Amino acid sequence: MRPEDSRDGLKRYWRRNLVLTAGLLFAWFVVSFVVPAFARYLDFDFFGWPFAFWVGAQGAPIVYLLIIWFYARRMDRLDREFGVAEGDEE
């Protein structure tokens, strides 16, 4: 690989990382702040719980777990794709 290719690749890696991070932070923002902000209106029945209450007690932590798990998986793939994974020799 030529040096400029690799520099270009690094830039793209970082941009892909930023896009992924921003997207996941958006999901985090929605469950953490948007749902509670409208909690008084989101009181429809959700398997026996008022929806907003369930999101605060169970839903949001589940979403957080999924976000972190998904990020770890995607970044591992991205590391390998761009040849920046640890222990990778070219």
Instruction: Compose the 41-60 pattern: x for residues touching another protein by CB under 8 A, - for all others.
Output: --x---xxxx-xxx-xxx-x
Q: Does 37 bind another protein (CB under 8 A)?
A: yes
Q: Which of 15, 30, 33, 77 binds another protein (CB under 8 A)?
A: 33
Q: Does 19 bind another protein (CB under 8 A)?
A: no
Residues 6+ apart with CB under 8 A from 27: 63, 67
- Cα–Cα distances (Å) from 5 to 32, 46, 53, in that order, read 40, 52, 51
Q: Does 24 bind another protein (CB under 8 A)?
A: yes
